[in-house]
Amino acid sequence: MYDNINDTYDTAKMILGTQNEAEAEKYLLEKLKEPDENEAKLRAYLSKVYLRTDRLDYALDEALKSVKLQPDYAYGLARAAYAYVFLDDTKNALKYARKTLKFCGDNYIILRILISLFSTCGKYKERDKLLKRLENLECESADFYYTKACVYYNLEEYEKGLENMLKAGELGYSNVYDMNLQLADLYFMLGDYKNALKHAQIAVKIYDDDYDVYYQLAKIYVAMNKNGNLLKTLKKCVAHGFQDELIYGGMALAAYNMKKYHKALEYVNQALIFNKDTAANNFMKCQILTDMDKTEAALESCMKAIEANSGVSEFYTRCSYLYTNLKDYNKALKYANIAIAVNPDDSYAYYLKGFILSRFGQYTPAIEAFQRVIKMDPTAPENFEDICECYALVENYKKLLEYANTGLMLNKDNPVLIYYKAQALTMLGEPKKAVVLYKKLLAIDSANASNYVAAAYCYSQLEMWHECLEYSNQAIMLDRSNAEAFYLKGCAFQNLGKAAEAKKMFEKADTLTTV
C-alpha cells in the first residue's frame, strides 16, 4: 500500500506488515528499476521504509523525489514533513505539513500523520483543529477506527484509543495480529495487565516470529512480576534469532528476581557483549554482584553505569552504599552528596548521608539529613529509627521521645522505636512507664540481649533487684560477652546482700570492658 490512501499493492503491504523492512526495501527498489506510473507513490513508501530503519537522509531524499514527481501528492508531502521532523528540522517539517493540508482533504490516514507531526512540533492548536476534524468524519470502517485508536495512543489518551481499537475489531479490522498487539499495548498502558496478556498471547499464536510481540509479552510479565514466564518468553525470542542487549538484559532481570544470581550474571554479561556501554545493564550487573557479596566488582560496574549515564541519582546512591559496606565513609559521603545534587528529591541519598555522618560522630548534620528523609516520606515508621539513634547519642531525650512517639503512631509494634521510647522515658525519670514498654518489646523481640539489658537497667532505677537479676541473667544467656549485663547482675547481687557473687560479676564486667 504505497500511499495508504487509495492504491493497494498487496505484496508491499504484506511485507511491511510482517515487520520485514529489508524485504520491503528490496521489493520497492526492484519495482523502481522499471518505469512505473506509480513512481511517486513507490518512493513515498520507500521513504517510510527508510524512516523505520533509521536511515533518515535516505528517507528525506525519497520523499522529496516523490514530491518532485507529483507536487500535489499528499502522502509524499506528508512523508517529507515526517522525515524533516526526525532530522530535527522543525521549520521545513511544518512547511511541508501545511502544504500537505492543501491536498489531503478528509483523508484520515494523512490526518493521523499530521496530528502526530503538529504534536511533536508543539503546534497544539493546529493539532487540535485536525483532531476535531478527524472526530467529525463520518466513516464506519475498521481502518478508520484503527487510525483513530493510533492517534489517541500517540496523544496518550489510552481510554479513547482502546475504545476505537475495540470498535475497529467489531467492524472486522483485517490485520488481526496487529490489532491484538495494539490492544495488548493499550491495556498495558491502562494498567489492565490481565487483558494485556490475553491479547498479546492471541497475537503470538497468530504470528510468533516478530520481535515486537515478544517485547510486549516481556513488558507485561515484568509488570505482573512473573519472572518465570518472562525468562521463558525471552528464551523463545532468542530461539527465533532475536538477540540483543535488551533481551539478555531482560533475561538477567528475570533470573535476578528469581535469585538465580549466577545465571543472571551470565545473561547480563551476554547483554554487555552487544553493548558494553549500556547504563541499564552495567547497573543490573552491579545489583547482581552486590547480592553476591562481590562489593568491589559491583563498584566497578556501577562506575561504568555512571560513565554511560551520569544523570541517574540511583547509580550514585548505590556507589555510596557499596563504599559504606567497605567502611570507606569519605567516598560514601561524596557519592551520597552527588546523588543529592543530581536529584534533590532522592530520599535514600539523604538517608545514606545521615547514616554516614552519624558514623563520623557528626550527629547534628546527620539529624538534619534524617529530617529531610522524614519530610519526603512521613508515612514510613522505619524512617524514624535512625534519627532516634542520633538523639539518643546526643542525649536529647525529649526529642528522642517526640520522634519515637511519632514513628509509633505509624506502627505501634516497631521494636526499634519501642526501645528508644522506653530509653527516653527511663532517662526522663519515668522508669515505670518504660518497664511496660520493655515487656512489650520482649514479647516482640525476645532474642536480643540488648533488650534484656535495657529492661534490667530500668528495674535497677526502680530498685526492683530481683527483676534486675532476672533480666540481666536472660541477657547473659543470650550474650556472654555483654559487659553491661554482668555489671547489672553485680548491682542486683550487691543490693540483695550477696557481696561475693556481686564481686565476681563486677570483675567479669571489668574483664569484658578491657578486652
Average pLDDT over residues 84-108: 90
Amino acid at position 477, single letter: M
Question: Structure pTM?
Answer: 0.75
Q: Residue 64 above 90 pLDDT?
A: yes
Q: What are phi and psi of 432, to 5 degrees?
A: -65, -45
User: Domains of the chain, with CATH numbers?
Assistant: 1-138 (1.25.40.10), 142-224 (1.25.40.10), 446-515 (1.25.40.10)
Looking at residue 120, what is its pLDDT?
87
Average pLDDT over residues 497-501: 95
Q: Is the dihedral of CA 334, 337, 342, 345 positive or negative?
A: positive
Q: Residue 5 above 50 pLDDT?
A: no
Coil, helix or strand at residue 436: helix
**Residue 191: CA atoms inside 13 Å, Cβ hemisphere, count?**
0
**pLDDT, tens only, 308-353:** 999 999 999 999 999 999 999 999 999 999 999 999 999 999 999 9
Looking at residue 11, what is its pLDDT?
39
Amino acid at position 355, single letter: F
Encode burial over 42-60: b for 16+ CB neighbours within 10 A, e otherwise. bbbbbbbbbbeeebbebbb
Average pLDDT over residues 44-61: 92
Angstrom distance (rounded) from CA 352 to CA 330: 12
Torsion of CA 218, 219, 223, 225, to 10 degrees: 10
Res. 124 pLDDT band, cuts 50 70 90: confident
**pLDDT, tens only, 267-281:** 999 999 999 999 999
Mean pLDDT over all residues of the chain? 92
Angstrom distance (rounded) from CA 436 to CA 416: 15
Angstrom distance (rounded) from CA 41 to CA 318: 54
For residue 27 the three cell numbers come to 521489493
Looking at residue 135, what is its pLDDT?
84
